[in-house]
């Protein structure tokens, strides 16, 4: 029997020695709506008294010929009686059973949004609709009805009895279940987007519906940077902003952290830095996350700077003819450290590679070695180093030579610009 066809009529009983008519208005009583009882003696008389019973129990001090219940409830679905007594002692009574209908109403509606992991094995939506007489519950996806023979879903309906404490009438619990065994790869489709699902009472009268959006969620993946993972920046320069992106659902949130400490540097997917110096490591981590998981990627700024030079020697005063050797070292730091171009100055002029003078270079250090230091070797020495960023000149180291005069022919240039030894004055190479 549908809600439209379920109409309650007043049933009037005439009892004892006189007649009484008991009528309700409206004749179809609806939950939470008012209902009025009217008790009329026949023939009509004003010289009577009234008593009212509810399920056989006296209703307080109610003595009027009519009575209104402001809000019909479960307790209204019961028996009511009106007793009329005249001054002569004549008594009549009328009884009526009041049935109360409940139009569809959600006891449990759908949430606005449901997110299920793409690896979920149990996916379902549930709504509970109060309705008496019991109503049909229908499900829709994107406004298209989901038929019972749809292989991707099945519907479970369960009748729930009345709940007196909460004044809830009979209801239907309906659950739409994803039949994942019939889905591709037996799981939700990760990039299927968002779909609208609707639970609706389906008898066509005072229908109610509840709509939810269901999306397939997955953790961030395919994280990328707008630049290479290692970025070269010249010292005291400003790096271009770097953007971090990843795919994921729900929306991916981003945070940049300073890698050595884990301290948050910036919130959002774009890292913006000011002046870059070489006084600290410039490594940063982009962390992309949503409630399904987290993924990270690293970014490093390689700070480029011209050579920083420190010069020193083994000694600065030598004796002519003592066969002493001078060692002058230039220790440097640079980025890039290779290639570095090296030259030596003596008294401001470029020092050529000649016999007795040897230039050695290892990573981080260049050396000038002068054997048998004599008068011609006295002077101020500097090293000049340059890389792709710039050039630096060291402070000067002064060599002093005391003793005999300069002997010509001690040095000669190599045909290839290197060092050639005089066979008559062979020296040990350091």
Q: How far is CA 340 from CA 157, 232, 307, 333, 392, in A?
A: 81, 17, 8, 10, 11
> What SS3 state is found at 272?
coil
Question: CB-based contacts of 185: which residues, under 8 Å, 6+ apart?
Answer: none
Q: For residue 191, what are its two tokens?
A: 């990039």
Residue 273 burial (C-beta neighbours within 10 Å; 0-12, 13-18, 19+): middle
CATH number for the region 19-98 comes to: 2.60.40.10
pTM exceeds 0.75 for this model: no
Q: Convert the pLDDT of each residue in 364-396 to its tens digit.
A: 888 888 888 888 889 999 999 999 999 999 999
Residue 136 burial (C-beta neighbours within 10 Å; 0-12, 13-18, 19+): middle
Q: Convert the pLDDT of each residue in 198-221 to its tens digit.
A: 999 987 778 899 999 999 999 999
Q: Convert the pLDDT of each residue in 273-286 to its tens digit.
A: 888 888 878 899 99
Instruction: Indicate the range of 53-67, 193-207, 260-274, 352-366 predicted with least confidence.
Output: 352-366
Same fold, 226-304 and 314-423: yes
**CATH superfamily entry for domain 226-304:** Immunoglobulins (2.60.40.10)
Q: What percent of the chain has pLDDT over 90?
A: 64
Indicate the pairing of strand 283-290 with strand 293-313: antiparallel
Q: Is residue 421 scored above 60 in pLDDT? A: no
Q: Convert the pLDDT of each residue in 160-212 to its tens digit.
A: 999 999 999 999 999 999 999 999 999 999 888 889 999 999 877 788 999 99
Q: In what order do the strands lie in the sheet with 124-132?
A: 29-30, 100-108, 124-132, 171-178, 153-160
Question: For the chain, how many residues are written?
Answer: 430
- Report H helices in 259-376: none
Task: Check residue 411 and give its pLDDT.
Answer: 33
Residue spans of the domains in the chain: they are 19-98, 103-218, 226-304, 314-423
| Rounded average pLDDT over 315-323 | 88
3 in Cβ contact with 135 (< 8 Å):
yes
C-alpha–C-alpha distance, residues 102 and 171, integer Å: 10
Stronger pLDDT, 8 or 102, i.e. the higher one: 102
C-alpha–C-alpha distance, residues 338 and 116, integer Å: 54
Q: What is the largest CA-CA distance in the chain?
A: 164
C-alpha–C-alpha distance, residues 430 and 416, integer Å: 21
Task: Check residue 12 and give its pLDDT.
Answer: 33
314-423 to CATH, choices 1.25.40.10, 2.60.40.420, 3.30.450.190, 2.60.40.10: 2.60.40.10
Task: Check residue 249 and give its pLDDT.
Answer: 92
Q: Is residue 21 scored above 80 in pLDDT? A: yes
CA dihedral defined by 166, 168, 172, 175, rounded to 10 degrees? -30
Task: Check residue 108 and give its pLDDT.
Answer: 96
Q: Is residue 58 scored above 70 in pLDDT? A: yes
C-alpha–C-alpha distance, residues 229 and 386, integer Å: 27
Query: Residue 42 — pLDDT band, cuts 50, 70, 90?
Result: confident
103-218 to CATH, choices 3.30.300.20, 2.60.40.10, 1.10.760.10, 3.30.590.10: 2.60.40.10
Q: Is residue 399 scored above 80 in pLDDT? A: yes
> What SS3 state is found at 150?
coil
Q: Is residue 359 scored above 80 in pLDDT? A: no
Euclidean distance between the first and the last CA atom of the chain, given in angstroms as a whole number: 112
Q: What percent of the chain has pLDDT over 70?
A: 87
């Amino acid at each position: 029997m549908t809600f439209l066809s379920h109409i309650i009529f007043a049933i009037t009983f005439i009892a004892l020695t006189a007649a009484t008519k008991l009528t309700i208005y409206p004749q179809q009583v609806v939950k939470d709506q008012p209902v009025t009882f009217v008790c009329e003696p026949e023939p009509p008389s004003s010289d009577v008294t009234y008593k009212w019973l509810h399920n056989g129990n006296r209703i307080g001090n109610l003595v009027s010929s009519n009575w209104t219940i402001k809000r019909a409830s479960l307790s209204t679905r019961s028996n009511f009686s009106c007793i009329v007594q005249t001054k002569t002692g004549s008594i009549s009574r009328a009884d009526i059973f009041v049935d109360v209908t409940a139009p569809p109403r959600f006891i449990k509606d759908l949430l606005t949004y449901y997110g299920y992991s793409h690896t979920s094995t149990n996916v379902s939506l549930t709504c509970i609709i109060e309705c008496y007489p019991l109503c049909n519950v229908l499900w829709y996806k994107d406004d298209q009805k989901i038929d019972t023979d749809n292989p991707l879903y099945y519907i479970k309906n369960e009748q729930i009895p009345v709940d007196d404490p909460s004044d809830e009438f009979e209801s239907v619990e309906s659950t739409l279940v994803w039949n994942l065994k019939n889905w591709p790869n037996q799981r939700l489709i990760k990039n299927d987007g968002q779909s609208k699902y609707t639970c609706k009472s389906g008898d066509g009268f005072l229908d109610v519906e509840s709509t939810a959006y269901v999306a397939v969620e997955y953790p961030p993946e395919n994280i990328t940077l707008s630049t290479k993972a290692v970025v070269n920046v010249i010292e005291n320069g400003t790096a271009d902003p770097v953007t971090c992106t990843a795919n994921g659902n729900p929306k991916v949130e981003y945070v940049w952290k300073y890698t050595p400490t884990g301290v948050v540097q910036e919130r959002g997917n774009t890292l913006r830095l000011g002046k870059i110096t070489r006084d600290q490591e410039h490594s940063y981590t982009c962390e992309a996350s949503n409630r399904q998981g987290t993924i990270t990627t690293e970014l490093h700024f390689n700070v480029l700077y011209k050579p920083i030079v420190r010069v020193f020697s083994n000694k600065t005063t030598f004796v002519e003819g003592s066969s002493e050797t001078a060692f002058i070292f230039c220790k440097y730091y640079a980025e890039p450290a290779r290639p570095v171009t090296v030259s030596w100055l003596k008294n401001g002029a470029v020092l050529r590679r000649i016999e007795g003078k040897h230039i050695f270079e290892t990573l981080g250090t260049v050396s000038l070695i002068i054997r048998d230091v004599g008068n011609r070797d006295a002077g101020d020495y500097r090293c000049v180093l340059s890389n792709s960023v710039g050039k630096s000149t060291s402070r000067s180291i002064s060599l002093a030579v005391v003793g005999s005069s300069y002997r010509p022919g001690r040095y000669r240039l190599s045909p290839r610009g290197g060092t050639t030894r005089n066979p008559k004055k062979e020296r040990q190479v350091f």
